[in-house]
């Protein structure tokens, strides 16, 4: 009797291991394919939406009254290029400032417009280019570090009132990097990071879920020496 019981107990254990392995494979497959699948789906959805909306208002059609695939995307890209060229001259800049003035004073619209404009300017505009380097400082207490962006060396009254050479560090908030605060830190207490400004913004916006790849300098030197 005891031998039969042992055999019956062994079968469920083997089956549970099989199901556990299948579950792990399933979860691993989802983790691997989900980012790629979602990215492709979002890109395709946006392109299809632009093509449908823009292409639907165009008078060009096939003989069977169907839209030309991809024509809407081409027209949209051309439209953005023309707008960019137009706003680069004097008259275009005046009209652009006037449109900003109007949008920032419309009820409800100004809230959405302001938030979107800040995010776009931070990620793609001149504000992102103003960040020189990604740095890390020990703040707000010893043993705790925060990531920020070096915006320049401290000058004027702030520098005159301090004994050490100071630098300006902008500490953005997560997940909205358009807000944050400015700290003046001694230059010798700033830790420089190798990641680019774009990678730093991605890490901050994602709350640390997106971490850029890091290759130690020693490993890079070893690889270059091996190639030589």
For the cut 90, the answer to whether the pLDDT of residue 120 exceeds it is: no
Alpha helices (H) in 138-196, listed in sequence order: 157-160
Average pLDDT, the chain: 77
pTM equals: 0.48
pLDDT tens string 2-58: 555 555 555 556 667 778 778 877 777 776 677 677 777 877 887 777 777 776 666
Q: Please, what's the b/e burial string for 38-68 (b: 16 or more CB within 10 A of its CB; e: otherwise)?
A: eeeeeeeeeeeebbeebbeeeeeeeeeeebe
- Does residue 141 sit in helix, strand or coil? coil
Predicted local confidence at residue 75, as pLDDT:
76
pLDDT tens string 150-186: 988 898 999 999 999 999 999 999 888 878 999 999 9
Spell out the domain ranges in the chain. 1-82, 89-124, 127-205
Tell me the two tokens of residue 10.
């062994």
Residue bearing the bigger pLDDT, 135 or 40: 135
Q: CA 212 → CA 165, 198, 222, distances in Å?
A: 30, 10, 21
């Amino acid at each position: 009797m005891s031998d039969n019981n042992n055999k019956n107990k062994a079968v469920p254990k083997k089956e549970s291991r099989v199901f556990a392995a299948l579950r792990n494979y399933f979860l691993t497959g989802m983790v691997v394919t989900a980012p790629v699948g979602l990215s492709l789906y979002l890109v395709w959805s946006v392109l299809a939406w632009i093509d449908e909306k823009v292409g639907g208002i165009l008078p060009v059609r096939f003989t069977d009254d169907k839209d030309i695939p991809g024509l809407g995307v081409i027209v949209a890209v051309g439209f953005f290029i023309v707008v960019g060229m137009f706003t680069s001259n004097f008259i275009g800049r005046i009209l652009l400032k006037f449109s900003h003035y109007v949008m920032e004073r419309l009820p409800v619209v100004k809230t959405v417009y302001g938030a979107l404009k800040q995010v776009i300017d931070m990620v793609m505009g001149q504000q992102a280019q103003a960040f020189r380097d990604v740095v890390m400082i020990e703040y707000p207490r010893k043993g705790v570090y925060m990531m920020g962006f070096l915006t320049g060396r401290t000058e004027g009254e702030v520098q005159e009132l301090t004994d050490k050479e100071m630098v300006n560090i902008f500490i953005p908030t997560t997940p909205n990097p358009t807000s944050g605060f400015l700290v003046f830190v001694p230059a010798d207490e700033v830790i420089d990071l190798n990641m680019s400004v774009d990678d730093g913004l991605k890490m901050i916006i994602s709350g640390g879920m997106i971490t850029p790849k890091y290759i130690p300098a020693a490993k890079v030197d070893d690889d270059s020496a091996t190639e030589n």
